[in-house]
Structure 1
Amino acid sequence: MKIEEIAQVIETVRERNPLVHNITNVVVTNFTANGLLALGASPVMAYAKEEVAEMASIAGALVLNMGTLRPEEVEAMLIAGKSANAHNVPVLFDPVGAGATSYRTEVARYIPSEVKLAIIRGNAAEIANVIDEKWEIKGVDAGEGNGDVVSIAKQAAEQLDTVAVITGKEDVITDGERTFILRNGHPILTKVTGTGCLLTSVIGAFTAVEGDYVKAAVAAVTFYGVAAEIAANKTAEQGPGSFQIEFLNQLANVTAKDIERYGNVEEVR
């Protein structure tokens, strides 16, 4: 997979302006919508069980995020996910905080058993806990852990029959056969709430226009990381508030040529 080929997916997103249906958490709704608008996608936040099946059926992608977990939203996620499956709409799942409580872990394992996932995205602890592997988690943040992140990602991809995306200091993307390690991004992302959740929705926008979900995920995560690096450089010494605004600017401004220049993608054989 050549970097030039990966880079072009952002131009396709901007040309097609895909509709991304988000059932996400209350902490990140505004940031997620603004981020998707900035990069050139069209966000919709629809939660009512009475409408989610219809909305999911016309979307380019469906994102299920369990950050602020409530039973009524779990029901809506299942309805929307099954509708998306029936209409060949890719479903992305962000199991926020899996492993933090027994209820959260139960839901994180139940949704993939009922809905076919195109992509699952989380930190190492979240993905490990979805597949019943032990990894320390503090709230919704991954602990240090002792596991092999590539191994956990491959196991998740194979067990859930999906593309697994584990994000952290290095990002791992795999379908169990093709595996990539990505080395873009900036630590200041961890100082702004919702950057992981927005990333899942950004991957959703890329998945809506690219049927090779590994390629879509690699392109989206690389684009996101490059945007973060440029934003961090432009706001050095100013703090996370300035970074957040500039990051939205860069989601709008980063081009395929920027991705070709700065993208750091390694395929693991």
Structure 2
Amino acid sequence: MIKDILDSVRKANPLVHNITNYVAANDCANITLACGGSPIMSDDPEEVEEITTLCNALVMNLGTLNPRKLEAMIKAGRRANKLKHPVILDPVGIGASSFRQQAVKELLNTVDFQVIKGNISEIKTIGKKKTICKGVDASEIESITEDNIEGAITLATELSKDLGAIIAITGAIDIVADKDLVYIIRNGHQSMRNVTGTGCMLSSIIGVLVGANPHRIFDATVTAFCIMGVCGELAYNKIVEKFQGSGSLKIHLIDSMSNIDYKILEEKI
């Protein structure tokens, strides 16, 4: 599965439209390039319909949301749906404000999403479950563990049935689910939490892989989680080896992504 997904990316070099946050936009663009895609980061309502027409996938990230950006997301999302381009939603910090919650409600009512990716607190908020959030991060109390993973799986599969989208939950243990199938991914390293935007970067990687594999969106999403996790492990090994810190971790993460191949993945997954 993974080899086929990555081979398709290398052949297609998909163009991915990211309407993302200004905190992580540069890193999202660079990780898109590193994994074999081409990024475009337009978020002006006046041009997003034209821009997304040119692209293979659309990624929406709520990290630094404002009314203008929400308008752009709705316009781009409708156009992507009309063209049958995959659309990914990353509802960053949805639990932090009523504005974000209302924005996601409006997006879900106007745009069909193929993938919704967030931490457990964000996914619980979308599922209207009681949750505890810490800004844009998941609460440590709610982190997915071996003890509570069954509940997280149930949440993901039920929400997938309700919304008709793949639900992808990030954490120490990752979950990718639709209404019938669930994958558990245990790659990655906790040091990745010390670099802002790694979750946003993952959303962009999903955009690249589903853009190149529009008929295998579930497999592409699982593959995105696997390669991001493995690259995180490789990056951590590098900073330990060189006595470096979190700034270097981000650089090694992007380097690892640009050098990743199937043999490395086969060893690590």
TM range (shorter): over 0.9
| Counterpart for residue 13 of structure 2 | 17
Aligned residues of 1:7 and 1:219 also touching (Cα < 8 A): no
Deviation at 1:14, TM superposition (A): 2.2
Aligned residues of 1:53 and 1:79 also touching (Cα < 8 A): yes
Aligned partners of 2:2 and 2:160: how far apart in 1? 21
Range with greater deviation from structure 2 (11-20 or 114-123): 11-20
| Counterpart for residue 215 of structure 1 | 219
Alignment of 1:69-84 (within 5 A): 69-84=65-80
Aligned residues of 1:35 and 1:251 also touching (Cα < 8 A): yes
**DSSP 3-state at the match of 2:180:** coil
Deviation at 1:8, TM superposition (A): 3.2
Alignment of 1:1-269 (within 5 A): 5-143=1-139, 144-145=141-142, 148-210=151-213, 211-236=215-240, 237-263=243-269
Aligned residues of 2:13 and 2:212 also touching (Cα < 8 A): no
**DSSP 3-state at the match of 1:99:** helix
| Counterpart for residue 267 of structure 1 | none
Deviation at 1:220, TM superposition (A): 0.8
Normalization by structure 1: what TM-score?
0.93
- Per-residue Cα deviation, 1:215-238 (whole angstroms, up to 9, x for no partner): 011111101111111111111141
- Paired positions, count: 259
Aligned partners of 1:54 and 1:119: how far apart in 2? 22
Aligned residues of 1:18 and 1:42 also touching (Cα < 8 A): yes
Aligned partners of 1:209 and 1:248: how far apart in 2? 20
Range with greater deviation from structure 2 (140-149 or 20-29): 140-149
Deviation at 1:261, TM superposition (A): 1.3
Aligned partners of 2:67 and 2:44: how far apart in 1? 12
Aligned partners of 2:4 and 2:244: how far apart in 1? 32
Aligned partners of 2:115 and 2:9: how far apart in 1? 18
Deviation at 1:35, TM superposition (A): 0.8
Aligned partners of 1:189 and 1:84: how far apart in 2? 31
User: What is the Cα-based RMSD across aligned positions, in Å?
Assistant: 1.2
Aligned partners of 1:189 and 1:108: how far apart in 2? 26
The letter for the 1-side match of 2:244 is Q
Aligned partners of 2:225 and 2:207: how far apart in 1? 11
The alignment-based identity, stated in percent, is 39
The letter for the 1-side match of 2:207 is G
Tell me which stretches of 4 or more aligned residues in structure 1 moved more than 4 Å.
none
Normalization by structure 2: what TM-score?
0.93
- Per-residue Cα deviation, 1:137-189 (whole angstroms, up to 9, x for no partner): 01001112386211221122111110000000110001110101000011111
Aligned partners of 1:160 and 1:93: how far apart in 2? 12
Aligned partners of 2:136 and 2:20: how far apart in 1? 15
Return 5+ residue gaps in structure 1 as ranges.
264-269
The letter for the 1-side match of 2:171 is G
